[in-house]
Amino acid sequence: MREARTERPGGDVLGGIETVDVGEPDRSRDRGGTALPRQGSSKPPPLLLRAGTNAAVALCLATALVHVLLVFLHVAPPNPLSRQYSRQVNAWVFPLFEQNWRLFAPDPESVNRQISARTMHIAPDGTVHVSGWFDLSGVDNSAVRHDVFPSHTAQNMLRRAWSSYLETHGGDDRPRSERALMMQKYLTDIAADRIRDHRGGTFESVQLRVITIPIAAPAEGAGPSPGSSAAAPKPVETRYLPWWKVTSHGN
């Protein structure tokens, strides 16, 4: 390191001395004059990062489009395309994206259902103990009533489980597909879990009873017109399901 002296006009030597560091070379450049990268400023290659981002965005868009198309084919009226790819549509929609309302023909509930369950326990001496009926629907109704923000579970779990059971079993309670077996086990687990939470005890089998009460149609005007007969109300239907074994985790 050496000092270079410069004299400013109109000033003395001491006032015009400037110290210039000419002994240390500029380390930001190599011997050929090329600028060297500074330490700590390494960044990922922009092309690789951009390619990964574009691939992720394209994958998300493709998944969203496929999901919308399959759900549309599920809720739309039957057509040749939905019939041809019904297997793929059902595999994607069920059970996570099931739609209850159709696109052009909504199907709101026209009946009220009271779903109850009872349990059976066989004692070591062979005695069979059958409990009384436990109102599963009443638990949901009490949880929803007077609640400003009722939970989705209390509103729809039991109701949708029974609707799906009807769709897969019909009226003879015979499962004819893997989905039917899954819905039967699902309904059994719901009943067993709720009985265990509210009653406790030990049991090996569960039976369900479903009472279907039709919702009366609203009256038109003040009353029926003269000469017209009012429609006869539909009868209340009571259905008993078979005894189902409860898996070990249900006790």
| pLDDT tens for each residue of 180-197 | 999 999 999 999 999 998
Mean pLDDT along residues 93-113: 73
| pLDDT tens for each residue of 9-58 | 554 444 455 555 555 555 555 555 555 555 555 566 788 888 999 999 99
Mean pLDDT along residues 220-242: 67
Distance CA 247, CA 165 (A): 19
To the nearest whole number, what is the mean pLDDT of the chain? 79
Q: Does 113 score more than 70 pLDDT?
A: yes
Cis peptide before 95 (omega within 30 of 0): yes
Q: Does 235 score more than 70 pLDDT?
A: yes
Mean pLDDT along residues 160-179: 87
- Full DSSP string of the chain: --------TTS-TTTT------SS--TTB-TTSPBPPPTT-----HHHHHHHHHHHHHHHHHHHHHHHHHHHHHHSPP-HHHHHTHHHHHHHHTTTT---S-SSS-----EEEEEEEEEEEE-TTS-EEEPPPEEHHHHHHHHHTT-SS--HIIIIIHHHHHHHHHHHHTTTT---SHHHHHHHHHHHHHHHHHHHHHT----SEEEEEEEEEEPPPPP-TTSPPTT-PPPPPPPPEEEEPPPEEPPGGG-
Percent above pLDDT 70 for the chain: 71
CB-side exposure of 71: number of CA atoms within 13 Å? 13
Q: With bands split at pLDDT 50, 70 and 90, how would you rate the model's confidence at 86?
A: confident
Q: pTM, whole model, 2 decimals? A: 0.56
Amino acid of residue 29: R
Instruction: Identify the pLDDT of residue 220.
Output: 61
Instruction: Identify the pLDDT of residue 110.
Output: 80
